Amino acid sequence: MNIITPQYESEYRSKLISGEEAARLVQSNSRICYAGFILSPVYIDKFLAQRVHELHNVKLQTQVYPGICQAVWADQKREHIIFTNAHFSIGDRILHDKGLCDYLPSLFHEYPRTVECGYAGTDILFMRATAMDKNGFFNFGIANTFVKTIIKHAKTVVVEVNKNIPYCLGGLDESVHISEVDYIVESDHAPLLTAPEETPSETEKKIASMLINEMKDGSCIQLGIGGMPNALGKLIASSGLKDLGVHTEMLVDSYIDMFEQGCISNNKKKVYPGKMVYTFAFGSQRLYDFMDNNPFLASYPVNMVNDPKIIAANPDVVSINNCLEVDLYSQVSSESNGFRHITGTGGQWDFVYGAFHSEGGKSFICLESTYTDKNGNLKSRIVPTFKPGTVVTVTRNMVHYIVTEYGIVQLKGKSTWERAEALIGIAHPDFREELIAEAEKMNIWTRTNRQD
């Protein structure tokens, strides 16, 4: 139940409206923003979907919508809403495949600056938040990101209250005061979307077992999402490593395992010591319960968490992320497969750059060497060149370490043919001769260079 103290009761009641009334605030030709991730206003969205055909030229922007945005789904011919998204969830990907969603390229840490420069104007911000606390604040819970920046620049701010959002303590910009809010909607308090438990494959376990040897006591870690990072987290928990720090864009379940086994102290960090630092989280209900009012954690806005300079200021940063493909030029693609857009840049660029510039830091891009296509054919993820339309996420100038189940290669300081040779060496054996032949055709590798 909301904690509405006498000091704020009158103001709260005066700003309280229904979900239907919130949806009616949207007018044709307006620019609206849904706070992304778990703060997306799924309750108000249903009401906006009911009146979408009354509107025209409404520009809606968000990031990682949890599920499928109903207002967009209701406009199957895209005659009323232009939907733009800076990072795709599974639902966003479905909308993009149907031609109902555009991708917004961005570096995660730069987005607040983009808003401040006036490049992403907002007429109405719709966002979920916790129930108001006794001091008049609505907490952003598990998704700090860049919400406060949008609040400062939006013409109208609407908060959708959901009591299931954990109250997450922060270092900065983790809450909004009622005085900064124009309208309040008390929702149906739907449970938060949780991530399904991912069982790592044997290949992912093998990659994780190699990565554990790249860490040491006092390492400051950043893990991405997926089976391999979770496998790595469990290995770390039983490894005996200690005094680890956490500075990560996304908090996931595996950090709990490490914390409970006493691996994490955050005492060796130079930036935000003593705290697990993150900008958003996605995981199980166990994770959300762990985060609720936990003083060992601190959320910060993404322009601080993902700022490469701040990442680099911590020593011994170990950044571990996944990708879709790597080509023989050592370019990394993590967001698209040809013309099909799958995810987004997210913070991968930020942490690849920041980790390398950390004293003793390392950045690892991981991928299984192969995948099976829809026709049952085995395909290599290390390829000569990308398909037309495939987006380069991390350029060859930036890439540090690449990892498959066949090994780890360090690419800094290596020439194009040395990189090609190293990558072929960690490709699946069935594809190595084919990759050698292609590298020769591309004039980046010759058998006379080969070091057997």
Q: Where are the alpha helices (DSSP H) in 262-403?
A: 285-291, 302-305, 308-313, 348-357
d(CA 265, CA 72) in angstroms, rounded, equals: 44
CA–CA distance, 134 with 431 (Å, rounded to integer): 62
Catalytic choice (249, 325, 368, 438): 249
State how far the Cα of 266 lies from the Cα of 277, in Å rounded to an integer: 9
Task: Please state, in angstroms and rounded to a whole number, the distance separating the CA atoms of residues 382 and 367.
Answer: 9
| Interatomic CA distance for residues 208 and 200, integer angstroms | 10
Residue 249: active-site member: yes
Long-range contact pairs involving 273-278 (C-beta distance under 8 Å, separation at least 24)? 273/245, 275/171, 276/246, 276/248, 276/251, 277/171, 277/246, 277/247, 277/248, 277/305, 278/246, 278/248, 278/249, 278/250, 278/251, 278/305
Query: How far is it, in rounded angstroms, from Cα 352 to Cα 163?
Result: 36
How many whole angstroms separate alpha carbon 191 and alpha carbon 294? 20
End-to-end CA gap in the chain: 69
Tokens 């690419």 correspond to what residue? 411
Tokens of 177: 């005061």
The three-class DSSP label of residue 293 is coil
No. of helices (H) and no. of strands (E), the chain: 16, 27
Which sequence positions are flagged as catalytic? 249
